[in-house]
């Protein structure tokens, strides 16, 4: 039998111990088992062999192939990867929902959890929101309190007691149906498996008296004194009264009385301190109250002064605003009055016009029945006057154009005297252009005439008589050039000059002749009759050296012909206006 002290309970004035006794059942152990005997046989030496034994060297077997160990399956890694993949898919779907309407419809139709919050965070979220979310999550994790060492020990002890009770109950249920065997009926194995019996024994132990405060000073004692008394009571409880004498109990009583005296003194000191503190508080309260009243008066005066200033400023602002509003109201009222007066005037004017129109219609139907016919006649007369005015303007323009054309013709057709200075023709053309109308033919003719006569004067533009004189001067050269053979040299030129002197001039006009004399005769007759166009055509039809010699004359004649044609065109067109 083994006894072990396991717990201790304390009562007021009495202490008791509880002990635990362990009763171990004896087990009979038999003799050790007998080991089998092994007989040793004598060793007989074998004679050495005469022939040597051949030994074959066997190569070592090849090492087995190394098999790569497969990677062990990790549940934590699988869950971590799956969670990351789910987060990526969820976030990508929410982001696509903000960009694509089809994905948004899919999300809304299937009601994916927290889709509204996620889409709103993606569309309206910012870096500050992410930072705030991170701090909130971090705060939640940091706020989690880990259990202390004492809590863990308490939990383990409770778990041990509960597990022990659970094991006992299960064993009782299992062995309940089996009849218990006592004493020598149990086998050694059953005796060893039998649980240890624990017996608790309690006994009363005498204790020393504890220190207690009186009831009248218990409520006014400081906490530190109470803690000291409680620690002394714990010390007294730990002391066994059986081993102490009566003097020790008297000592405890003296300690109790001295502690009560100390508590009384402490209580008195505390009361004195409280009284002194109350007196000082009253003095400081009166001082603070007086200073507070002074500051209150100063603040009141300051606030009244500021209030008066703000009041004057507000009155000024309100007066100015009121003046502006009154002025604006007056202007609006005056404008509305003028608008009303103008509307009344307009209405009266409309009524007057309606009245006049009505009276005119009555007069038209009565006395002025023939007013429409008179109006038609007046319109016809107005149209006739406009046409007549248009004709007068056209006739005036025609007259001016014809006068300008006649002046230009007179200037160009009259042969200039030798002593007369050459005059520019361009001013006459400009004057003709100024009096011309918007007729397209006239404008084109004047444009071409201005181009032809822009650099000409009265002496540079030849008349018909001057052209005839030039042609007569050109005739000997034409005759001599007509006698030149092709590719003539110096001798050919001399011969043509000699033989041209022997040619007799042809009198009359030969219309079918192609020789040089016939051409000269036709040109002279045309110039004499004033048919410049025929003369130019005959001179243009010349060939060879004759055409080259007559080229300058042809240019001058063509210029004269163009001027005459354009002047005739302008004169004819002005007559048709």
Q: How many CA atoms lie within 13 A of 557 on its CB side?
A: 26
DSSP 204: E
Buried b (16+ CB within 10 A) or exposed e, 368-399: eeeeeeeeeeeeeeeeeeeeeeeeeeeeebbe
- What pairing do the DSSP bridges indicate for beta strands 197-206 and 2-10? unpaired
Domains of the chain, residue spans: 79-125, 456-576
**pLDDT per residue as tens, the chain (577 positions):** 444 444 444 433 434 434 434 344 444 444 444 544 444 444 444 434 334 444 444 555 565 555 555 556 677 778 888 888 888 888 888 888 888 888 888 888 888 887 788 888 787 777 777 777 777 777 665 655 555 556 666 666 666 666 666 667 666 666 654 444 444 555 655 555 555 554 555 555 556 667 676 666 666 666 667 777 777 777 777 665 555 555 556 666 777 777 777 777 877 888 888 888 888 889 988 999 899 999 999 999 999 999 999 999 999 999 999 999 999 999 999 999 999 999 999 999 999 999 988 888 877 676 666 777 778 888 898 898 888 888 888 788 778 777 777 777 777 766 666 446 666 677 777 777 777 766 777 778 777 777 777 766 666 677 777 888 888 877 777 776 665 555 555 555 565 555 555 555 555 555 666 667 777 778 888 887 878 888 888 888 777 777 777 788 888 888 888 888 887 887 787 777 6
Name the strand (E) or helix (H) holding 17: strand 14-23
**CA 278 to CA 284: how far, in whole Å?**
10
User: Is the Cβ–Cβ distance between 5 and 17 less than 8 Å?
Assistant: yes
Neighbours of 481 (CB within 10 A): 22
**CA 145 to CA 297: how far, in whole Å?**
55
Tokens of 324: 């502006």
Burial class (CB in 10 A: 0-12, 13-18, 19+), 449: buried
User: Is the Cβ–Cβ distance between 236 and 210 less than 8 Å?
Assistant: yes
* pTM tops 0.75: no
**CA 24 to CA 460: how far, in whole Å?**
168
CA angle (242 as vertex; 239, 244 as ends), nearest 5: 65
């Amino acid at each position: 039998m083994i006894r072990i002290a396991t717990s201790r309970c304390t009562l007021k004035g009495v202490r008791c111990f509880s002990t635990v006794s362990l009763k171990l059942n004896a087990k009979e152990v038999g003799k050790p088992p007998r080991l089998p005997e092994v007989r040793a046989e004598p060793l007989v030496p074998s004679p050495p062999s005469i022939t040597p034994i051949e030994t074959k060297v066997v190569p070592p077997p090849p090492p087995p192939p190394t098999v790569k160990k497969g990677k062990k399956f990790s549940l934590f890694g699988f869950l971590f990867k799956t969670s990351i993949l789910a987060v990526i898919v969820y976030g990508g779907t929410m982001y696509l929902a903000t960009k694509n309407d089809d994905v948004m419809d899919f999300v809304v139709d299937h009601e994916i959890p927290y889709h509204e919050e996620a889409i709103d965070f993606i569309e309206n979220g910012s870096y500050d929101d992410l930072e705030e979310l991170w701090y909130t999550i971090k705060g939640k994790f940091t706020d989690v309190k880990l259990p202390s060492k004492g809590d863990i020990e308490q939990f383990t002890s409770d778990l041990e007691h509960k597990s022990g009770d659970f094991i006992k109950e299960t064993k009782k249920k299992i062995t309940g149906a089996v009849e218990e065997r006592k004493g020598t009926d149990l086998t050694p194995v059953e005796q060893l498996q039998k649980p240890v019996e624990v017996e608790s024994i309690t006994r009363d132990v005498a204790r020393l008296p504890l220190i207690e405060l009186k009831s009248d000073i218990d409520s006014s004692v400081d906490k530190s004194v109470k803690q000291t008394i409680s620690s002394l009571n714990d010390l007294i409880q730990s002391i066994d009264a059986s081993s102490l004498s009566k003097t020790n109990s008297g000592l405890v009583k003296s300690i109790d009385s001295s502690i009560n005296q100390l508590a009384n003194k402490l209580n008195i000191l505390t009361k004195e301190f409280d009284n002194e503190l109350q007196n000082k508080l009253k003095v400081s309260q009166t001082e603070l109250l007086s200073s507070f009243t002074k500051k209150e008066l100063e603040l009141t005066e300051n606030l009244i002064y500021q209030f008066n200033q703000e009041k004057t400023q507000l009155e000024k602002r309100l007066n100015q605003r009121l003046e502006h509003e009154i002025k604006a109201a007056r202007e609006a009222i005056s404008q509305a009055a003028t608008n009303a007066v103008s509307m009344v005037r307009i209405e009266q004017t409309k009524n007057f016009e309606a009245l006049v129109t009505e009276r005119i219609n009555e007069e038209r139907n009565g006395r002025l029945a023939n007013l429409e016919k008179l109006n038609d006649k007046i319109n016809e007369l107005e149209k006739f006057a406009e046409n007549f005015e248009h004709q007068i303007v056209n006739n005036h323009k025609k007259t001016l154009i014809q006068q300008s054309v006649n002046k230009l013709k007179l200037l160009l057709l009259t042969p200039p005297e030798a002593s007369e200075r050459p005059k520019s023709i361009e001013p006459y053309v400009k004057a003709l252009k100024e009096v011309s109308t918007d007729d397209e033919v006239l404008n084109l003719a004047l444009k071409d005439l201005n181009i032809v006569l822009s650099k000409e004067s009265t002496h540079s533009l030849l008349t018909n008589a001057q052209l005839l004189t030039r042609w007569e001067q050109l005739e000997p050269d034409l005759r001599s050039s007509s006698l030149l053979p092709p590719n003539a040299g110096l001798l050919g030129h001399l011969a043509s000059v000699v033989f041209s002197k022997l040619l007799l001039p042809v009198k009359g006009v030969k219309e079918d002749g192609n020789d040089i004399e016939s051409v000269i005769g036709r040109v002279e007759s045309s110039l004499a009759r004033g048919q410049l166009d025929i003369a130019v055509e005959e001179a243009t039809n010349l060939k060879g050296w004759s055409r080259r010699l007559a080229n300058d004359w042809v240019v001058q004649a063509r210029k004269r012909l163009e001027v005459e044609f354009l002047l005739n065109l302008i004169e004819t067109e002005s007559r048709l206006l």
